[in-house]
């Protein structure tokens, strides 16, 4: 399983300054098949500076959710570090 890209990312406007909510489309490669699924994710910055990423909306994906979620979290963290997420 591989995350090819996360596209069409939009940021939801919420009043909590340490939490950012997003929606987007994840393009995944699962068993040599491409699959697009709508996802919602949030990045919460803890007081220690660590980032907690939670993902929702993985509907219709025929793959174990724990490794899928972990791989998506890593991809989202890389997008955040590179500054590719909308401000």
What's the pLDDT tens digit per position in 25-40?
999 999 899 999 999 9
- As a dihedral over the C-alpha atoms of residue 63, residue 65, residue 70, residue 74, rounded to 10 degrees, the angle is 60
Task: Examine residue 87 and state whether it is found in any structural domain, yes or no.
Answer: no
Give the number of domains in the chain: 1
Q: What pLDDT score does 61 carry?
A: 86
Q: What is the pTM assigned to this prediction?
A: 0.92
**What pLDDT is stored for residue 22 in this prediction?**
97
Give pLDDT, residue 36: 93
28 belongs to a structural domain = yes
Residue 78 included in any domain? yes
Low-confidence residues in the chain, pLDDT < 50: none
The SS3 assignment for 17 reads coil
- Specify if 42 maps to a domain: yes
Q: Write out the residue range of the structural domain in which residue 76 sits.
A: 2-82
Domain-located, residue 70: yes
Percent of the chain with pLDDT over 90: 87
Does residue 20 lie within any of the structural domains?
yes
């Amino acid at each position: 399983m591989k995350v090819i890209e996360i596209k069409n990312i939009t940021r939801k406007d919420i009043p909590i300054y340490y939490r950012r909510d997003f929606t987007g489309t994840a393009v995944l490669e699962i068993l040599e098949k491409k699959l697009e699924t709508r996802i919602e994710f949030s990045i919460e910055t803890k007081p220690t500076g660590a980032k907690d990423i939670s993902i929702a909306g993985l509907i219709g994906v025929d793959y174990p959710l724990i490794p899928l979620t972990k791989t998506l979290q890593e991809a989202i963290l890389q997008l955040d570090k590179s500054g590719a997420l909308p401000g």
